[in-house]
Structure 1
Amino acid sequence: MSMIFGGYIVDSSGARHQLKVVEDPEEFVIRDVLSSISECSGVITMRHELECEGQPYELVLYLESGNFLVMLSEYDRDGEHGVRTLTDLNSQNELVSILGEMYPARAVTRDVELVYTVFIEFARTGNVSADIMA
């Protein structure tokens, strides 16, 4: 199972900086990239090189000001596209702005360790437990 890992960050002046694309990243590479950009704004993506129906194919992290929105894209058995997110039922029922878009606060986390866990699980298994992302 071949994975592609990359993305971009936006600096304080609004300039976009492309990150180096890594094929089949090891755990330490994932942690290094995520920790180095955790206080930045940007988008990080990990995806299967080949998409398979009925399986997740892409994990995307949108981040800004220490807020992390993680979205797992997948096709169901009928070929319909679905997206799973984190769900924090203890969070306020409000919206949070990330990269100019509004998202439910319940789908956003500030826990970088949880983000590490999600990306590492996706890299290892090609999926993320439904207990973590519903």
Structure 2
Amino acid sequence: MKRIEMGGYYSGSINQGRLYFPKILDPKTIDILMTLSLIENQKYGVLELENTLAKDEVEPQKLTLYFEDGNYLLMLLDYDDEGYIDVRTLYNPDAPKGVFQNILGEPYGATSIVQDIELVKKCFIEFNQTGSVSRDLLN
């Protein structure tokens, strides 16, 4: 069972401060696409889709996008077969391995950061429709 809630924040500049996306319960694909299109022109922020009815330790619960200056870090909070947390991310084969890049002031492996908003859109739409994202997209 799924019940998706979308929300987050963004900023168009360092001095602007946080502006919040309106929370949307059970967003439609057009809501997601419009919000992700807005993100492309913003300095930084976070956007989340959360399945509020996900079964703990069984089903993916949250898809979180951290973005800054055209760089996107997408994380899916999932669980493995034994119920342990399994955070899945996109993979950037062109990024140098062993190198870290800051997103929102935190270091992450550069191979987890992409610049392809279309790939991000695919993941958001799939999570919204199914409550998960295929392992073909998120490792």
TM range, smaller chain: over 0.9
Q: Which residue does the alignment assign to 1:80?
A: 84
Which moves more between the two structures, 27-36 or 44-53? Answer: 44-53
Does residue 1:47 correspond to 2:57, yes or no?
A: no
Q: Which AA in structure 2 matches 1:116?
A: K
Partners in 2 of 1:22 and 1:65 — Cα distance?
Answer: 25
- Residues 12 and 41 of structure 2 are in contact (CA less than 8 Å); yes or no, is this contact kept in structure 1? no
* Counterparts of 1:31 and 1:133, CA distance in 2: 19
- Residue in structure 1 matching 2:67, options 55, 63, 66: 63
Q: CA deviation at 1:105?
A: 1.3
Deviation of 1:51 (Å): 2.5
Tell me what 2:117 maps to: 112
What is the percent sequence identity of the aligned residues? 38
Q: Paired residue for 1:16?
A: 18
Contact kept in structure 1, 2:64 and 2:75, CA below 8 Å: yes
Question: Please, what is the CA RMSD of the aligned residues?
Answer: 1.2
How many residue pairs were aligned? 134
CA distance in 1, matches of 2:129, 2:94: 29
Partners of 1:55 and 1:76 within 8 A in 2? no
Superposed CA deviations along residues 50-98 of structure 1, whole A, max 9, x for unmatched, are 2313211100000000000000001234332120001122322222111
In 2, the alpha carbon distance for the partners of 1:120 and 1:89 equals 23
Match of 1:99 in 2: 104
Check the 8 A contact 1:67/1:109 in 2, yes or no: yes
Could you tell me the TM-score, scaled by structure 2's length?
Answer: 0.90
Unaligned runs of 5+ in 2: none
SS at match of 1:21: strand
- In 2 relative to 1, CA 25–105 (structure 1 residues): closer, same or farther, beyond 3 Å? same
Give the letter for the 1:129 counterpart: S
Partner Cα separation in structure 2 for residue 50 and residue 132 of structure 1:
23
1:39, 1:64 within 8 Å by CA — same for their partners in 2? Answer: no
Deviations 1:75-124 (A, max 9, x none): 23433212000112232222211100111111011101001000000001
Normalised by the length of structure 1, the TM-score is 0.94
Q: Which residue of structure 1 lines up, in the alignment, with residue 94 of structure 2?
A: 90
